[in-house]
Amino acid sequence: MGEHPSPGPAVAACAEAERIEELEPEADERPPAAPEDHWKVLFDQFDPGNTGYISTGKFRSLLESHSSKLDPHKREVLLALADSHADGQICYQDFVNLMSNKRSNSFRQAILQGNRRLCSKALLEEKGLNLSQRLIRHVAYETLPREIDRKWYYDSYTCCPPPWFMITVTLLEVAFFLYNGVSLDQFVLQVTHPRYLKNSLVYHPRLRAQAWRYLTYIFMHAGIEHLGLNVVLQLLVGVPLEMVHGATRIGLVYVAGVVAGSLAVSVADMTAPVVGSSGGVYALVSAHLANIVMNWSGMKCQFKLLRMAVALICMSMEFGRAVWLRFHPSAYPPCPHPSFVAHLGGVAVGITLGVVVLRNYEQRLQDQSLWWIFVAMYTIFVLFAVFWNIFAYTLLDLKLPPPP
C-alpha cells in the first residue's frame, strides 16, 4: 500500500489504526487490489461482524490514520457525512461511493465553500419551512430515493439556473400551436386540416431528407387534446426532474426520446408522418416511473401507487388516442394520419438511458458501465435508422404519400 506516513498523535491513540498498519506488510504479497477493494479491507477492520456499518468514532479514527492518503476534498466530504448521521453509524456504501469518486466536484466544492452541512434529521421532520423550502423538499422526495441525496439537494439547491429547458420547450409548443390554430382557424384535431402537413416543421416521409424535421415535429400537435396532456406531463414530471438533475441531463433524455421517436416511425411505420412531443415526454415519464419501481422502498413520495396508476392511465389514453387516429380514415388521402410509434421510441429511451441518468444523481455518468452500454445501443440504432432511410425506401419500392 506504499510508504507509511509518520504516525501522529491521532494514530498513536488509535488501537484499531495500529492493527491496520500491522497488516499492511502482508499486502505486498497479494496482487494489487482495486481502490474500492482497498477501502473495503480498511472498513472491514472496524466492522468485524460484517454488518455494513461502523460507528462515527471509528470512522473518524480511520480518516485520521489515513489522512495523508486522502484527497483533502474527500476528507472534508467524509467528515460532513459523519456529522450527518444522528444514529452514530456510517454505511459502507456511502463511504465507498465517495472514496471511488462517484460524486461530482460540486458535492465536494460546496462543502469547501462553507455551505451548511447535511442536516442530521430527516427532511420530513424539519419545521418552520417557508413555501419555497417546502417545494424543494417536495421535489426531493418526489425524485430521489436516498435520504442523504435528498438532504444534500435540499441544502444545496439555489434555483440558479431555474428549470429553463422544460419551461422553454413547453412555451414554444404552446406558441406554435396557437399560431397554427389561428392560421388554420382550427384548434381541435388540427391534423385533419388539409393545410396542416404543409408546415415545414412536420416530419413527412417524402421529406425525410430534411433532417431538421426529425426534431422540429415536436412543435406541431394533432390538436388541443394532444397538446394538453403532453404539456401537463412535461410540467408535472419534467420540471421537477430538471430541478434535481439539471437541464443538460434531462434535455439529453428528452431530445434522445424525440429523435428516437421519429427514427422509429421512419423504420416501423414508413408511410406515416409524425407530430407532437410524445417521444420526449414518454422518455421522461417512463424513466421516472421505472426509477420509482426500481427504488420502491426508498421513494417516499406520497400516494406513489395511486399516482403511478393515474400516470399509466393517462399515458395509455394518450397512446390509445394516437392509435385510433393513425387508423382512422384520413382527411387527405392517400396520406395517413400521424403515427403512434414515436411513443414507443420514447419509452425505449426512457427505460434505458433515462433510468441510468435518474439513478445517478450528482454522480458521473461516464463512470457507469450501463451508461456506455445504452449509449452504444442508441448510437447503433441511430446509424441503422439513417442507413434504413437512405436505402430501404428505394429497395422496398414503397408507395409513399405525395408531398404536402
Question: Is the pLDDT reported for residue 58 higher than 60?
Answer: yes
Q: How confident is the model at residue 342 (pLDDT cuts 50, 70, 90)?
A: very high
Residue 75: closest CA among 57, 62, 93:
62
Q: How confident is the model at residue 283 (pLDDT cuts 50, 70, 90)?
A: very high
- Share of residues in the chain with pLDDT > 90 (%): 41
H-helix segments, 295-362: 304-327, 341-349, 355-358
pLDDT at res. 203: 96
pLDDT at res. 93: 63
Summary mean pLDDT of the chain: 79
Who has greater pLDDT, 102 or 115? Answer: 102
CB-CB neighbours of 209 under 10 Å:
8
Who has greater pLDDT, 252 or 398? Answer: 252
User: What mean pLDDT comes out for the span 55-64?
Assistant: 72
Least confident stretch, 14-18, 146-150, 219-223, 287-291: 14-18
User: What mean pLDDT comes out for the span 109-116?
Assistant: 39
pLDDT one-digit tens code per residue, 65-77? 766 565 554 565 5
Q: Which residues contact 341 (CB under 8 A, 6 or more apart)?
A: 261, 264, 265, 268, 269, 272
Active site (catalytic) residues: 278, 343
Q: How confident is the model at residue 226 (pLDDT cuts 50, 70, 90)?
A: very high
Question: Is the pLDDT reported for residue 212 higher than 70?
Answer: yes
Contact 59, 46 (CB under 8 A): yes
Cell 425524485 sits at which residue?
Answer: 143
Calpha distance 221→277 (Å, rounded):
8
Question: Is the pLDDT reported for residue 147 higher than 70?
Answer: yes
Who has greater pLDDT, 231 or 158? Answer: 231
pLDDT one-digit tens code per residue, 171-205? 999 999 999 999 999 998 888 888 898 999 999 99
At 31, the amino acid letter reads: P
User: What mean pLDDT comes out for the span 308-313?
Assistant: 88
Cα→Cα distances 144→148, 241, 244, Å: 9, 10, 8
pLDDT at res. 114: 36
Question: Is the pLDDT reported for residue 81 higher than 50?
Answer: yes
Question: Is the pLDDT reported for residue 26 higher than 90?
Answer: no
pLDDT at res. 98: 56
pLDDT at res. 69: 60
pLDDT one-digit tens code per residue, 349-397? 999 999 999 988 877 788 788 999 999 999 999 999 999 999 998 898 8
User: What mean pLDDT comes out for the span 84-104?
Assistant: 58
Question: Is the pLDDT reported for residue 227 higher than 90?
Answer: yes
Q: Which residues contact 59 (CB under 8 A, 6 or more apart)?
A: 46, 78, 82, 90, 95
Greatest mean pLDDT range, 52-61, 122-131, 177-186: 177-186
Threshold 0.75, pTM exceeds: no
Calpha distance 154→140 (Å, rounded):
7
